[in-house]
Amino acid sequence: MKQFIVMLAVLPLMLVFLLQFSLEQQNSVKIAAVSDIVYAAKEEAKQAGAFTAEIQAGMKRRISERLGIPESEIVIESELSEVYRVDSERGRGLISYRVSVPIGSIVAGRSLFGIREEDNRYVYTIRSITASEKLSP
Protein backbone atom coordinates (compact mmCIF):
# COMPACT_ATOMS: atom_id res chain seq x y z
CA MET A 1 0.00 0.00 0.00
CA LYS A 2 2.83 2.36 0.92
CA GLN A 3 4.49 1.74 -2.46
CA PHE A 4 1.22 2.48 -4.20
CA ILE A 5 0.78 5.83 -2.41
CA VAL A 6 4.36 6.80 -3.24
CA MET A 7 3.77 5.89 -6.87
CA LEU A 8 0.63 8.04 -6.95
CA ALA A 9 2.66 11.02 -5.70
CA VAL A 10 5.66 10.49 -7.98
CA LEU A 11 3.89 9.55 -11.22
CA PRO A 12 2.39 13.01 -12.01
CA LEU A 13 5.76 14.61 -11.28
CA MET A 14 7.52 12.24 -13.70
CA LEU A 15 4.81 12.64 -16.34
CA VAL A 16 5.43 16.40 -16.40
CA PHE A 17 8.90 15.75 -17.83
CA LEU A 18 7.44 13.72 -20.65
CA LEU A 19 4.83 16.37 -21.39
CA GLN A 20 7.42 19.16 -21.17
CA PHE A 21 9.69 17.39 -23.67
CA SER A 22 6.77 16.95 -26.09
CA LEU A 23 5.78 20.60 -25.66
CA GLU A 24 9.36 21.77 -26.30
CA GLN A 25 9.54 19.75 -29.52
CA GLN A 26 6.14 21.03 -30.62
CA ASN A 27 7.07 24.68 -29.93
CA SER A 28 10.40 24.25 -31.69
CA VAL A 29 8.71 22.91 -34.85
CA LYS A 30 6.18 25.78 -34.74
CA ILE A 31 8.89 28.44 -34.35
CA ALA A 32 10.94 26.94 -37.20
CA ALA A 33 7.82 26.94 -39.41
CA VAL A 34 7.02 30.59 -38.60
CA SER A 35 10.63 31.57 -39.19
CA ASP A 36 10.67 29.85 -42.61
CA ILE A 37 7.32 31.35 -43.69
CA VAL A 38 8.36 34.87 -42.68
CA TYR A 39 11.70 34.45 -44.48
CA ALA A 40 9.94 33.30 -47.67
CA ALA A 41 7.46 36.19 -47.45
CA LYS A 42 10.33 38.63 -46.95
CA GLU A 43 11.96 37.38 -50.16
CA GLU A 44 8.66 37.98 -51.99
CA ALA A 45 8.42 41.46 -50.44
CA LYS A 46 11.94 42.30 -51.68
CA GLN A 47 10.83 41.63 -55.25
CA ALA A 48 7.47 43.41 -54.84
CA GLY A 49 8.97 46.44 -53.04
CA ALA A 50 6.66 46.02 -50.02
CA PHE A 51 4.75 43.55 -47.90
CA THR A 52 1.73 43.93 -50.15
CA ALA A 53 -1.75 42.94 -48.99
CA GLU A 54 -1.42 39.67 -50.97
CA ILE A 55 1.93 38.80 -49.38
CA GLN A 56 0.58 39.56 -45.89
CA ALA A 57 -2.57 37.52 -46.54
CA GLY A 58 -0.51 34.60 -47.89
CA MET A 59 1.82 34.72 -44.88
CA LYS A 60 -1.12 34.76 -42.45
CA ARG A 61 -2.82 31.88 -44.26
CA ARG A 62 0.31 29.70 -44.28
CA ILE A 63 1.09 30.38 -40.60
CA SER A 64 -2.52 29.76 -39.65
CA GLU A 65 -2.56 26.42 -41.52
CA ARG A 66 0.77 25.22 -40.10
CA LEU A 67 0.10 26.25 -36.49
CA GLY A 68 -3.65 25.71 -36.39
CA ILE A 69 -4.38 29.16 -34.98
CA PRO A 70 -6.86 31.79 -36.22
CA GLU A 71 -5.46 34.38 -38.64
CA SER A 72 -6.77 37.14 -36.35
CA GLU A 73 -4.12 36.23 -33.73
CA ILE A 74 -1.25 36.83 -36.17
CA VAL A 75 -0.02 40.41 -36.16
CA ILE A 76 1.87 41.79 -39.16
CA GLU A 77 3.07 45.38 -39.21
CA SER A 78 4.58 46.78 -42.40
CA GLU A 79 4.03 49.66 -44.80
CA LEU A 80 1.93 48.75 -47.82
CA SER A 81 3.45 51.47 -50.02
CA GLU A 82 6.18 50.32 -52.40
CA VAL A 83 9.81 51.36 -52.00
CA TYR A 84 12.41 51.01 -54.71
CA ARG A 85 15.98 49.74 -54.79
CA VAL A 86 17.26 53.28 -55.33
CA ASP A 87 14.86 56.09 -54.55
CA SER A 88 15.86 59.59 -55.66
CA GLU A 89 14.29 61.09 -52.51
CA ARG A 90 14.97 58.48 -49.83
CA GLY A 91 18.15 56.81 -51.10
CA ARG A 92 18.32 53.00 -50.75
CA GLY A 93 14.85 51.56 -50.34
CA LEU A 94 14.36 49.64 -47.09
CA ILE A 95 11.26 47.69 -46.08
CA SER A 96 10.68 47.29 -42.36
CA TYR A 97 8.39 44.62 -40.95
CA ARG A 98 7.28 43.06 -37.69
CA VAL A 99 5.51 39.72 -37.29
CA SER A 100 4.12 38.37 -34.00
CA VAL A 101 2.68 34.89 -33.66
CA PRO A 102 1.37 33.22 -30.47
CA ILE A 103 3.15 29.87 -30.16
CA GLY A 104 1.41 28.46 -27.07
CA SER A 105 2.35 27.31 -23.59
CA ILE A 106 5.91 27.38 -22.27
CA VAL A 107 5.55 25.02 -19.31
CA ALA A 108 3.49 21.81 -19.31
CA GLY A 109 1.31 21.19 -16.27
CA ARG A 110 1.34 24.86 -15.27
CA SER A 111 -1.39 24.40 -12.64
CA LEU A 112 0.85 21.91 -10.82
CA PHE A 113 3.44 24.68 -10.38
CA GLY A 114 0.95 27.50 -9.77
CA ILE A 115 1.79 29.40 -12.97
CA ARG A 116 -0.96 31.70 -14.31
CA GLU A 117 -2.16 31.11 -17.86
CA GLU A 118 -1.24 34.65 -19.01
CA ASP A 119 2.33 34.14 -17.71
CA ASN A 120 2.64 30.85 -19.59
CA ARG A 121 2.10 32.18 -23.14
CA TYR A 122 4.94 32.55 -25.62
CA VAL A 123 4.61 35.01 -28.49
CA TYR A 124 7.31 34.69 -31.14
CA THR A 125 8.23 38.04 -32.68
CA ILE A 126 10.47 38.86 -35.62
CA ARG A 127 11.23 42.49 -36.42
CA SER A 128 13.72 43.47 -39.09
CA ILE A 129 14.39 45.34 -42.32
CA THR A 130 15.13 44.19 -45.83
CA ALA A 131 16.49 45.94 -48.90
CA SER A 132 13.98 46.36 -51.72
CA GLU A 133 15.10 44.91 -55.05
CA LYS A 134 12.29 46.47 -57.06
CA LEU A 135 13.53 48.91 -59.68
CA SER A 136 11.86 52.32 -59.85
CA PRO A 137 9.64 52.73 -62.93
Partner 1 sequence: MRTFIIFLAFLLIFTSFTVYAADMNDYMQLQAELKAVAEECAGGGALQLAPESFDEGRVIISQRDAQLYAEKVLAETFISSPPLKHGSLSASAVLLSDESIEVTVTYTADEGYDLFRLPFLSKKTAARRAAYRWE
Among 1, 5, 8, 14, binds partner 1 (CB under 8 A): 14
> Rounded CA gap, 29 and 58, in Å?
20
> Which candidate, 32, 51, 53, 103, places its Cα nearest to that of 74?
103
* 107 is an interface residue for partner 1 by CB under 8 A: no
Among 11, 25, 61, 65, binds partner 1 (CB under 8 A): 25
Among 12, 127, 135, 136, binds partner 1 (CB under 8 A): 127
What single DSSP character describes residue 108? T
Kindly tell me the sign of the dihedral angle through the C-alpha atoms of 11, 17, 21, 27.
Answer: positive
Q: Are 81 and 31 in contact (CB under 8 A)?
A: no
Q: Of 47-55, 60-68, 88-96, 112-120, which part binds partner 1 (CB under 8 A)?
A: 88-96
Among 52, 69, 105, 124, binds partner 1 (CB under 8 A): 124
* 10 is an interface residue for partner 1 by CB under 8 A: yes
In sequence order, which residues have a C-beta less than 8 Å from that of residue 8 and are 6 or more positions away?
none
Q: Of 25-33, 48-56, 60-68, 76-84, which part binds partner 1 (CB under 8 A)?
A: 25-33
Q: Are 52 and 45 in contact (CB under 8 A)?
A: yes
* 136 is an interface residue for partner 1 by CB under 8 A: no
> Which candidate, 1, 86, 104, places its Cα nearest to that of 49?
86
* 35 is an interface residue for partner 1 by CB under 8 A: yes
Q: Which residues bind to partner 1, rule: CB under 8 A? A: 3, 6, 10, 13-14, 17, 20-21, 24-25, 27-28, 31-32, 35, 39, 42, 46, 85, 92, 94, 96, 123-131, 133
